[in-house]
Amino acid sequence: MTSARTRDRLVERLRQNGIYQEQILERIRNVPRHLFVDEALSSRAYEDSALPIGQGQTISQPYIVALMTQALLEDGAGGLRMLPKALEIGTGCGYQTAVLSPFVRRLFSIERIAPLLSQTRDRLRELKVDNVRFRNDDGFNGWPGQAPFDGIIVTAAPQREPDTLLTQLAPGGRLVVPVGPNGGEQRLLRITRTDDGYTREDLGAVAFVPMLEGKEKGVR
Ligand code: SAH
């Protein structure tokens, strides 16, 4: 179920769907996704689909995780750029965090549901993902004390572009974010901060859980 062959099949599928960065494919192959889902679902962990993780939340589809990671890091010349400082909104189970972590020097990650975050901290510590600082807060505020960021990745969908996050981008920095109504059409956007404003690219249709305001206690 969690064999090398199953993982190879997943990686092959992502490659066919346009993930061309070998380092990202290799990272997807190596992150043990079965440890991020309930044991009852571990046989499905290497399918290219989203799965429930409790608290009404989901672990993202591997293709989307790879696509967002690539969109954040590709350098336009066929390579990857390593980011000094990046921010993630929507830690959830930490799968996207784990995939991204080797490509950034310092990663900051915000989750609004406290119990999800405490499980994730433990899981990532066990997996030796150790360049991440976590915060239980409303990601709409970003992380002002650490801004600006070279990259920001949002794994829940706000209805509109999140203005505060845009202001926390460094020049040349990118925000990768799904924008649109809950249950309606959401578009994955890559917004780049330039010297005199922002440029936007549409990376396609996606389906994310909504980005919600405020913190939540959740149920243990
Ligand atoms: N990144 C995860 C997917 C998380 S699902 C993965 O790799 O699989 C989206 C997460 O965003 C949920 O855990 C949800 O609680 C969180 N979220 C939603 N709105 C938020 C907000 N305003 N601030 C921080 N986290 C938020």
66 lines ligand 1 (CB under 6 A): no
Dihedrals phi, psi of 35, to nearest 5 degrees: -85, -5
Ligand 1 center to residue 219 CA distance, Å? 15
Which of the following is catalytic: 43, 60, 101, 118? 60
Token look-up 């920095």 returns 173
Query: 98 and 129 in contact (C-beta within 8 Å)?
Result: yes
Dihedrals phi, psi of 132, to nearest 5 degrees: -115, 135
pLDDT digits 0-9 by tens, 169-193:
999 999 999 999 988 899 999 999 9
- pLDDT lower than 70: segments of the chain: 1-2, 220
Closest CA to ligand 1's atom 26: 90
pTM > 0.75: yes
Active site residue 60: yes
Query: 160 and 179 in contact (C-beta within 8 Å)?
Result: yes
Q: Cα(171)–Cα(58) distance, rounded to whole angstroms?
A: 32
Tokens at residue 200, please? 């936007």
Per-residue pLDDT, 54: 87
* DSSP symbols for 138-162: -GGG--TTT--EEEEEE-SB-SS--
Domains assigned to the chain:
51-206 (3.40.50.150)
Closest CA to ligand 1's atom 17: 90
Peptide bond into 148 cis (omega under 30): yes
> Which of 27, 89, 208 for a ligand 1 pocket mutation test, highest count of atoms within 8 Å of Cβ?
89
Per-residue pLDDT, 146: 98
Q: Cα(46)–Cα(28) distance, rounded to whole angstroms?
A: 10
Token look-up 């970003």 returns 142
Other CB atoms closer than 10 Å to residue 116's CB: what's the count?
22
Ligand 1 center to residue 216 CA distance, Å? 11
Closest CA to ligand 1's atom 14: 90
Report the atom number in ligand 1 closest to the C-alpha of 94: 7
Ligand 1 center to residue 93 CA distance, Å? 9
58 lines ligand 1 (CB under 6 A): yes
